[in-house]
Amino acid sequence: MDVTAINPQLVDRKDEIKAAYDKLKASGLNLDLTRGKPSAEQLDFSTEILSLPGENFRTPSGVDARNYGGNIGIVEIRQLWADVLGIDVDNLIAGDASSLNFMFDLISWSYTFGNNDSPKPWSVEEDLKWICPVPGYDRHHSITELFGFEMVTVPLTEEGPDMDAVRELVKDPAVKGMWTVPVFANPTGITYSRRVAQELAEMETAAPDFRIVWDNAYAVHTLTEEFPEVINVLDLAEQAGNPNRFWFMSSTSKITLAGAGVGFFASSKANLDWYNSIAGVRGIGPNKINQLAHYQFLQDEQGVRSLMQKHAGSLGPKFTRTVEVLERNLADANVAKWTVPEGGYFVSVDVVDGTAARVVELAKEAGVNLTGAGATYPLKKDPNDRNLRLAPSMPEIQELEEAMEVFTTCVLLAAIEATEAAEATKASGAAVANNGSLGSAKGQADKDETAEGGMDH
């Protein structure tokens, strides 16, 4: 938001807002809105997994989960998750806890060896570029940053990335891929439309080994009674003649136990064969005991949806309260815009341009830790210093209310500071211009006087 859009009456409230901030600062708070972690209440929903599989260590298909083997995971958890995602089980691998591990491996191995469509390893390409819809997920950006990609940003719309911008970028053979969080995106909460998914599947790319990381981390993470459509992009890509385009990710990390769940990777047969040819050298297979425990606990697709309704019951009131405080404290001042998500783990807030870092600084001084300004952009550099990501999931409601009071007060205070700075700059510019005018007038008068004196001679 531009500073000129701020309600002009806000500056008149400076003393009131500063006093409120000082009072909050003196209250000794120690609160955290930085990461989207499940609360203890949410983790308790899945505590039963810790006692599974017990002595029932054979899968229904007869596999002894205690032993080696099975690089693609047990068929039972794969079939369950294929049902959740609406894809063919033959296109799905079940791994260990983190889908982020799959993403890292896929990019690392493409960099080291080239993927199954690469003319050569990415490491020997002259230039490497990666498309990053923004605002986006910081851990995505960290991977492509590590491998030296130039990260090219495109804005997110309500339907997904700006497709005109994407189509233009993929004409460059140096552009090797793109990050996406297609359902309840981190941090905006938007869900990609079928039109955008179709266009991503169909578009022509200059790089034959171009890949889209379709990170469906929040595929079933609704905050309402309605579940979003999970688009089968693998079928769309197959029909479009680009079967290898998508690396499709998912996991149970914010469904069962964070960091102790099951990660999933879905893709074309050719992509999976390439992945397994390297994964089979790296290891002997995933944790089948944990996969079996998850299968026994979740049982089927309906079991997953029932569990997610419990999560919605826990998270929903926190998101409602977050938005209520934003509305109550900021709406009239016109100093911020925010999302009202129907799922996911975050609320995205755009504050007055040039003030996001100051808001984080003020909040920290008052005892509230926020995700750093710029975290939702590659290299942690938001060109407008505008976007902030709030994670309401961890605190109790009362703590969340306190943290949001601090946050909104800091937004107001930073906006006032920005307004005063803009007015001071404007006044300074006017003074300089005025002095220049006076100087010009005096100079002209001197010239006139000299000219008159010359005529006397």
Phi and psi (nearest 5°) for 253? -60, -35
The model's confidence at residue 439, banded by pLDDT at 50, 70 and 90, is: low
pLDDT at 7: 84
pLDDT at 129: 99
DSSP strands (E only) in 74-169: 92-94, 129-134, 150-157, 160-161
The model's confidence at residue 100, banded by pLDDT at 50, 70 and 90, is: very high
The model's confidence at residue 457, banded by pLDDT at 50, 70 and 90, is: very low
**pLDDT for 371-400, tens place per residue?**
999 999 999 999 999 999 999 999 999 999
pLDDT at 454: 46
* DSSP string covering 227-290: PPP---HHHHHHHTT-TT-EEEEEESTTTS-TTSS-EEEE--HHHHHHHHHHHHHH-S---HHH
Question: Coil, strand or helix: which one is 185?
Answer: coil
CA–CA gap between residue 346 and residue 317 (Å, rounded): 13
Phi and psi (nearest 5°) for 333? -80, -20
Q: Scanning the structure block, which residue is given the tokens 């409602």? A: 320
Give the residue with greater pLDDT, 166 vs 259: 166
**pLDDT for 43-58, tens place per residue?**
999 999 999 999 999 9
Ordered by where they begin, the domains of the chain are 3-33+305-415 (3.90.1150.10), 53-299 (3.40.640.10)
pLDDT at position 218 over 70: yes
Mean of the per-residue pLDDT values of the chain: 95
DSSP code at position 388: E
pLDDT at position 449 over 90: no
The model's confidence at residue 444, banded by pLDDT at 50, 70 and 90, is: low
**pLDDT for 101-116, tens place per residue?**
999 999 999 999 999 9
Least reliable range by pLDDT among 3-12, 15-24, 165-174: 3-12
